[in-house]
Chain A
């Protein structure tokens, strides 16, 4: 089992004006620089959850992050860890090569829905199928963010995007893809979960899932995958609060939250 103990990831600083203890602080693996993301974008939140997991298990010095292409690409700016940029969609393959070479390191990919479920569909399926001992953080916001709001494989039926100007139509573009469920069907997958960040309650469950994914990697249990339903206020044309309401009313009904696969033991010796 894991030799890492659950320590506190911040010291109890005393507030200068009183005897109060600090109960919430930026994780140290997250550089103290401003996020360039749009107001209300969940990338910032997800970066923080991943950094909190890295800090919680004291992994900073042996973790390598692999960024996909899209708004996800700036992982190297924000995490104070070794990072690499992969070509669009290929992060799972890059992670495979790296983890095979350095099997005692913690390797994670950070990818959006175009990167992972469109151009990278082959790479993610085969990496999961091989049971590569890596963690994939999948940011699903139902659009292509960086390039200006085109349709994604996870765009909902009827959703207007710049390349589905009349609303996604299954006759033309098929149905939105549920990645957490698909990967859960593969034997190689040890953990596949879908979470959301639109309410404090959902966010706490997301935090737990991200932590679990990293812990299972530490215990060599196989491929771990967390899909995080996220808001893209800019490309949805909604303010951050309405965007979170959309996650609740439109995304969650189609992309249910939950753990779809959770292996209890490692499948190799």
Chain B
């Protein structure tokens, strides 16, 4: 059982984390950050395994992962 936290203000909505999550758990959030990006966030559906692929691929070091 794992969990990610995306730093909303650092995320630039590049979409890479969304594309690599093996469980397709990451979505774009419905509201923008102060830069105008719609940051990524863990959706409430499904179980995160804490694999951290999202954090590894994130170019902005915007994701922290717990397991």
Chain A residues in the interface with B (C-beta under 8 A): 15, 17-18, 20-26, 30, 34-35, 37-45, 48, 199-200, 203-204, 233, 239-241, 244
Contacts and interface: CB of A to CB of B under 8 A. Distances in A.
Contact of A24 (B9, B14, B56): B56
B19 A48 contact: no
Report the 10 A-B pairs with minimum CB-CB distance, sorted nearest first: A44-B59, A39-B12, A20-B66, A24-B65, A24-B55, A39-B14, A40-B14, A240-B14, A24-B52, A15-B66
A34 B60 contact: yes
Contacts of B1: 20
Contact of A39 (B13, B55, B57): B13
Contact of B15 (A18, A45, A240): A240
Contact of A35 (B59, B64, B67): B59
A164 B10 CA distance: 35
A246 to B, nearest CB: 14
Given A23-B66, A24-B64, A244-B16, A42 B53 contact: no
Nearest to A231: B59
B52 A41 contact: no
Interface of B: 1-3, 9-10, 12-16, 19-20, 37, 50, 52-53, 55-61, 63-67
Given A20-B50, A24-B52, A30 B61 contact: yes
Contacts of A41: 59
A41 B59 CA distance: 7
A48 B61 CA distance: 8
Please indicate which of the listed interface residues B2, B13, B65 has the most CB atoms of chain A within 10 Å of its own CB. B65
A23 B3 contact: no
Q: Which of A17, A23, A25, A38 has the most CB of B within 10 A?
A: A23
A45 B66 contact: no
Nearest to A16: B66
Nearest to B9: A34
Contacts of B2: 20, 23
Contacts of B10: 34-35
Nearest to A199: B20
Contacts of A21: 66-67
B63 A24 contact: yes
23 contacts: A22-B64, A22-B66, A23-B50, A23-B52, A23-B66, A24-B55, A24-B56, A26-B64, A30-B61, A35-B10, A35-B59, A38-B12, A39-B37, A40-B12, A40-B14, A41-B59, A42-B59, A44-B59, A44-B60, A200-B56, A239-B15, A241-B16, A244-B16
B36 to A, nearest CB: 11
A126 to B, nearest CB: 33
